[in-house]
Amino acid sequence: MRMETIAVATSLTPESDRVVRAALEVTHAAEARMQLIHVVRPALASFVPVGDLPPEAEPERQREDAGRALREQMLRLGLERRDVAGWTISVGRPGAAIVRAARRARADLLVIGAAEGQQVTLGGVAEAVLRESPIPVLLVRGEPSMPPQRVLLPVDLSPLSGDALRFGRTWIDQVAGASRPECRVLFVLSDEQRLAAPQFTAAQLERLACAELARFAAGADAEGIDREVRAGEARDEILAAARAWQADLVVLGSHGVGGYRRCAPGGVAAAVARGAGCSVLVVPPEHAARLEAEVERDILESGDWSWVTDEVETPSERR
């Protein structure tokens, strides 16, 4: 699946330049085009009488100011017209408005920045986008390395997790080009899974998990990639593995049977996005399911089905 449009949400501040730069690098690597999105928060409190509205609170004035700031950011970053498919400036609730604009632009990837502090704050714009977006979201933290050098791919062995892994591999290939980032597939064996199999020792369970992970990776076109099995709480072990390996990107699905469910507060994907010291690419279940359908369609379209028949061989024909 080739990326054609990369949407990026920008606050238009110098702090958001790094996010737009990261999106631009992905855009160039994928030979795609970029859609800039900025959402103006309503400046009015509901108790202000209409006749007393300050001029700067008028939506049209806010859009004009944002338009000037957007042009300044484009000049600051040296964006060329060929790089930009267009831009959207709207007034509203940032999280929902960003997702709506990205969907309208038919974006294949949505790039956002972590809160301009240390982490994604609970209830912040970034977390709202992660929770609501049906499009894969690249959460940029710090000054990201593009293309990434070390990519951690946590999985929970569910089918949708396999599709997220497949998407991550495809995305990395498009962004990395000729370079070959180190990739590592991670599976965390939970306490519940260990307790459910008391007949096995810890060493036996680890060997079984390693064998199952190898089969899973092969089925997701990730055979030959470095693999790691850890035991414990998924969110804690994923964050610990990312730190220990010094990953500069974590790719995971916001779904699954092992806890990687939708990016809701308290979920594994949200916890990883909130606590990782590097950028995080989150693949939502809608996109993973669509990718699985596209893979099946490609197999059907590219296969040689000339030998297939619905005729049933009779006993006499067998003789």
Nearest to 222 by CA among 160, 153, 269, 285: 153
Using one digit for the tens of pLDDT, what is the confidence trace for 123-181? Answer: 488 888 988 899 999 999 988 878 899 999 999 998 888 989 999 999 998 998 778 89
Q: For each of the domains in the chain, give its residue range(s) and CATH number, in order of start.
A: 1-43+60-143 (3.40.50.620), 145-301 (3.40.50.620)
**C-alpha to C-alpha distance for 30 and 1, rounded to whole angstroms:** 11
Contact assessment for residue 73 and residue 38, using Cβ atoms and an 8 Å cutoff = no
Task: Report the pLDDT value the prediction gives residue 91, as an integer from 0 to 100.
Answer: 85
Contact assessment for residue 3 and residue 30, using Cβ atoms and an 8 Å cutoff = yes
pLDDT band at 46 (very low <50, low <70, confident <90, very high): very low
Residue entry with tokens 């990026």: 8
Give the mean model confidence (pLDDT) for residues 286-310.
48
pLDDT band at 49 (very low <50, low <70, confident <90, very high): very low
pTM to 2 decimal places: 0.82
Comparison of pLDDT for 161 and 242, the residue scoring more: 242
Widest distance between CA atoms in the chain:
95
- Pure H helices in the chain: 17-30, 59-77, 94-104, 125-132, 159-176, 191-195, 202-219, 234-245, 268-275, 285-302, 315-318
pLDDT band at 296 (very low <50, low <70, confident <90, very high): very low
Task: Report the pLDDT value the prediction gives residue 256, as an integer from 0 to 100.
Answer: 43
Our CA angle for 289, 295, 299, nearest 5°, is 145
